[in-house]
Structure 1
Amino acid sequence: MAAKNQFQLLKTRRFLPFFITQFLGAFNDNVFKNALVVMIAFRLSQNEANALINLAAGLFILPFFLFSPFAGQLADKYDKGRLIRVIKLAEIIICILAIIALFSGSTPMSLLVLFLLGVQSSFFGPVKYAILPQHLDSSELVGGNAQVEMGTFVAILLGTIFGGLLAGQTGEGEYGLYWIAAILMLASTAGYLASRQIPAAQPPAPDLRINFNSFSQTGRVLRLAAQKPAVFYAIIGISWFWLQGSAYLTQVPSFTKNVLGGSEMVVTLLLCTFTIGIATGSLLCEHFSGGRIELGLVPVGAIGLTLAGIDLAWTGSSFQLLKDASIMDYWAASGSLRILVDLVLIGIFGGFYIVPLYALMQDRSDKTLRARIVSANNVLNALFMVIAALLGILFLNILKVSIPGFFLVIALMNAAVAIFVFNRVPEFAMRFLVWLLSHTMYRVKHKGLEAIPEEGAAIIACNHVSYVDALLLAGAVRRPIRFIMYKPIYEIPVLNFIFRTSRAIPICGKSQDPEGYTRAFAEIEQALADGDLLCIFPEGQLTGNGEIQPFKAGIEKILQKNPVPVIPMALRGLWGSFFSHKDGHAFTTLPRRFWSRVCVVAGEPIPAGKAAAADLQQEVRELRGAHP
């Protein structure tokens, strides 16, 4: 049974042990990594610290680039639950090496341990995201991914706090190193014990022959992913997000010390602020998406990331440098709250951006390739994060750009990447406009939508009240819908972009355009043969008086050649809204209201043989009731 909300997943064995395992792994990585970075930042000169911090970031993510293709193949070939247990055993051994490195005070050995933690994480990554679609229902994917992202960043938050605080207590006579050692061993051991409870996840490709050439394997998988542009550009978008995240997080210690003048405690405060934002944004995705994979949130996230990044750069560049300020001293300084707000907003909009992209990649990837698709994604993630480290060295060490200036460059680059991705996959922009409409001018509720089949050919028959009926239906129904619509409405500016992107089928009367009429019916027949979900407004035009007009016989003609189920649906509450014809043609008179409560209601599917136009009209009228 699918969970009713994302938090109920934490009560299930198919999710909770995995969640604990990945949480503790992320926590452990960040305890060690942040302790190391903070010790470097506050014990070396600025130039030495900048170089070593960027080197540490590069060493941690380099294994993703080197080993992810191999790891993805293992995850498709073998039981993912068993693989996770082996990976967690390796983590215990690496943590023992980490303790030796810290107590010996060896920076080279500490960097080697960081590299090994990256190797371990690179093998865990493909399993982490490929196991979710096997254990979760499709309606749970957004919630599951939101929980994973939330858990990951809360783990980063706690790892950051413990790592940062304990790094400041590693001097002579202090016990910081002992606490770090205890935490590393306890977390890695508990993570292994939790992994033993993860249910089996049968391999989708047990006969797969392993390709040990990482470059050729990655190229092959990316070519396969490119066959589905939405999946391929989701990978590009995810990778760009990790470049941004790496660029921001890597520079926070130096930003705190050299731009703000804060202490180690202020570093922890800023990192905590950012990760709280990410966790919040990830959880809000479930609320704003209604349990579906809502791609409209991705442009919202991209816009927010750019604006918040620009403001962070602006505020940081004008901040009056303090001197080894405590949290209270920093809080009292002008501009301090604004920087914290910017970091929270970057985190929240980052959650809006990344959760739907991960869910899209998982949902639309071929299940026999899913782990390899994830591994290819991890390779590009790693490549982009290496680029982030190189950009940090280029701008900060070679070009001598200030850290706020570097943040500004990243924010502007984000806008350019977003425009490129949304141009290549217009579905993102289309879903954004639909989401914006359904969350501003309209408050939409749903009833009975579980009657719509999750797959297979079917036709929705709905009353036609306003110019935005199709957009509201597209926003309400989980499956993508192809609309059969009156050609003049299809050609309305701006709306035409949405309709074209959703592959709507324009049609008008046979006497008006005989060729277009024939072409539309041929396209309808092909769409149903392909198993698509279509929607038709059988009235043929918008109502002029709020009442349902007689249904035309066109739907009967469609069903004669394509006997598929018909789902009657009704739109309630749209009559009198801005885009309806009440009191005159829409757009020509001032509307009585700009905001409407709308309800989308679906009835039980009707077999093709019983779906006469007059009967469908009566069904839709009863569903609508007295709510035009």
Structure 2
Amino acid sequence: MIAFASCCCQSRGKEYNKGADMKGWKILFASFRKIKPLNAVVWTQFLSAFADNLNFFLIVGLVKREGAADPDGMVTYIQMAFLVAYVVLAPIVGAFADKKAKSHVLLLGNAMKATGITLLLLGVPPALCYFFVGVGAVVYSPGKYGILSELTKSEGELLKANAQVEGSTILAILLGTVAGGFLAARSDLPAILVCLFIYLLSLAMTFLVPVKPGNPDIRYRAASGQFFRDAVKLFRNRRSRFSLIGTGAFWLTASVLRIALIAWLPLNLGIVDTDQQSMIIGVTALGVVASAWLTPRLVPEGRLYRGFFYGIAMVGAVMAANFTNELWLTVSLLFVTGVMGGIFLIPLNTMLQEEGKALVGPGRTIAVQNFVENALTVVGLFLYLTLRKMEVPVNYSVVGIGAVLTLFFIYLAFQFGKIRESYALIRAKR
């Protein structure tokens, strides 16, 4: 009897524990379902961007451990493989994003990124793996920005939503950079598994984004020709042209600077450890996190063009940081670069989304933006790689890229007055 009673108690205990576990999962799932759609977009973007930057330093660690003759050049080539996906697929991904529900686009993008990391786990060459991650990123991006205009009702709401997304993205870049450097300095397998898990978690968050139907009448066969017509239409519009060139210049700077710092830090500050390098590079991202809070206060609604002045300050900070030999000064200037760059970027993204939504549609606008930004970034990386192969010191290679960047800003300066006048006319009509 005692044995029977004991058995019954154990059975009831197991049933009770099972019931408690089920109740706990139900509570967790209910809490998960209560996340607001816009917050779900912010979270899925945060997680996806975190993994994107973790895997960059994972690649850096892999290349260094393989003993490549020119590790910096190899990392640059791998980065270019990632960007090639943007350039090649740009003509059709905008149409895909507008044809399908944006939530499904986000899901597919994360699935492709996870596939790239899985291939890395299976021993596939890093450049090919990073190309698959790039395919996921180029699919994901139009959905990420296109959904914002669907979930907001005014320029002010869209500006705040952009600030949230950009702020969370840069925070993810910061944390992903530091985590990637820490993991890459120790072992490859844990970093790969962590990266894969985060992509899958980001994928899960997309199920909380509302499924709003796209335009089923869009046909992919005509998408390529339409893409170039969209690009022409956006470049003919003064405000969207200003935004495209400005954001392209920003990402050219950010991508080249990240690659250049990997070579610059050992030469100028004697810092060779991947985890330490990642923390220093992450300071720039910390600055952009601060810019997400500052932007709505410094660049008010209806005066988005004011972000241009902060772009000029960003260029100055980059050039000054290039010639420092003190760690504290380098870190300070990189932080300033991030702050100024973020205040420059966020209003330009808002300006482009507003103009693009009316001109060609949100998804197709982002596809053109991705093409322009990544084509310019590939050109910037190619120029940097060429300068390095010519054995130009890394400091002067950065100066060369800075000179190219300055040309873009000179053009923007000539356009600035007319952009300001166009916004004055809009305010007068209101």
Q: Does residue 68 of the first structure (1) align with residue 90 of the second (2)?
A: yes
Shift of 1:301: 1.7
Match of 1:116 in 2: 132
Shift of 1:76: 1.2
Alignment of 1:416-431 (within 5 A): 416-428=407-419
- The CA RMSD over aligned residues, in Å, is 2.3
Q: Does residue 16 of the first structure (1) align with residue 39 of the second (2)?
A: yes
Shift of 1:428: 4.6
CA contact (8 A) 2:240 2:356 kept: yes
- Give the Cα separation in 1 of the matches to 2:320 and 2:338: 14
- Give the Cα separation in 2 of the matches to 1:346 and 1:112: 32
- Give the Cα separation in 1 of the matches to 2:190 and 2:45: 22
The structure richer in helix per residue is 2
Alignment of 1:71-86 (within 5 A): 71-86=93-108
CA contact (8 A) 2:181 2:276 kept: no
Match of 1:480 in 2: 426
CA contact (8 A) 2:116 2:131 kept: no
Q: Does residue 285 of the first structure (1) align with residue 302 of the second (2)?
A: no
Match of 2:142 in 1: 126
- Secondary structure of the corresponding residue to residue 386 of structure 2: helix
Q: Does residue 355 of the first structure (1) align with residue 365 of the second (2)?
A: no
Q: Which amino acid aligns with 1:181?
A: I
Shift of 1:42: 6.7
Q: Deviations over 1:176-226 (max 9, x none)?
A: x332133123212211211001012332x4312223674x44321111213
Match of 1:179 in 2: 190
Q: Does residue 49 of the first structure (1) align with residue 71 of the second (2)?
A: yes
Instruction: Determine which of 211, 217, 223 is the counterpart of 2:232.
Output: 223
Match of 2:398 in 1: 407
- Secondary structure of the corresponding residue to residue 208 of structure 2: coil
Instruction: Determine which of 252, 256, 262 is the counterpart of 2:271.
Output: 262
The structure richer in strand per residue is 1
Q: Deviations over 1:99-128 (max 9, x none)?
A: 223xxxx6xx12211110000000011111
Shift of 1:41: 4.6
Alignment of 1:228-239 (within 5 A): 228-239=237-248
Instruction: Determine which of 133, 140, 159 is the counterpart of 1:142.
Output: 159
CA contact (8 A) 1:231 1:360 kept: yes
Structure with the larger RCO, 1 or 2 (CA within 8 Å, 6+ apart): 2
TM-score (norm 2): 0.85
Q: Deviations over 1:73-102 (max 9, x none)?
A: 01111211122223333333333222223x
Q: Which has the larger radius of gyration?
A: 1
- Give the Cα separation in 1 of the matches to 2:363 and 2:120: 29
Shift of 1:259: 2.9
- Secondary structure of the corresponding residue to residue 387 of structure 1: helix
CA contact (8 A) 1:72 1:375 kept: yes
Instruction: Determine which of 254, 257, 263 is the counterpart of 1:248.
Output: 257
Match of 1:162 in 2: 179
TM-score (norm 1): 0.59
Change (3 A) 1:289 1:113: same
- Give the Cα separation in 2 of the matches to 1:194 and 1:74: 21
Q: Does residue 369 of the first structure (1) align with residue 361 of the second (2)?
A: yes
Percent identical residues:
21
- Give the Cα separation in 2 of the matches to 1:422 and 1:295: 15
Q: Deviations over 1:548-593 (max 9, x none)?
A: xxxxxxxxxxxxxxxxxxxxxxxxxxxxxxxxxxxxxxxxxxxxxx
Shift of 1:352: 1.0
Shift of 1:71: 1.0
Aligned residues: 394
Change (3 A) 1:74 1:230: same
CA contact (8 A) 2:72 2:259 kept: no
Match of 1:312 in 2: 321
Alignment of 1:532-543 (within 5 A): 532-533=429-430
Shift of 1:163: 1.3
Q: Deviations over 1:448-494 (max 9, x none)?
A: xxxxxxxxxxxxxxxxxxxxxxxxxx6xxxx8234xxxxxxxxxxxx
- Give the Cα separation in 2 of the matches to 1:419 and 1:268: 32
Unmatched segments (≥5 aa) in structure 1: 1-10, 171-176, 320-334, 435-473, 483-531, 534-628
Change (3 A) 1:94 1:39: closer
Unmatched segments (≥5 aa) in structure 2: 1-33
CA contact (8 A) 1:301 1:349 kept: yes
Change (3 A) 1:164 1:294: same
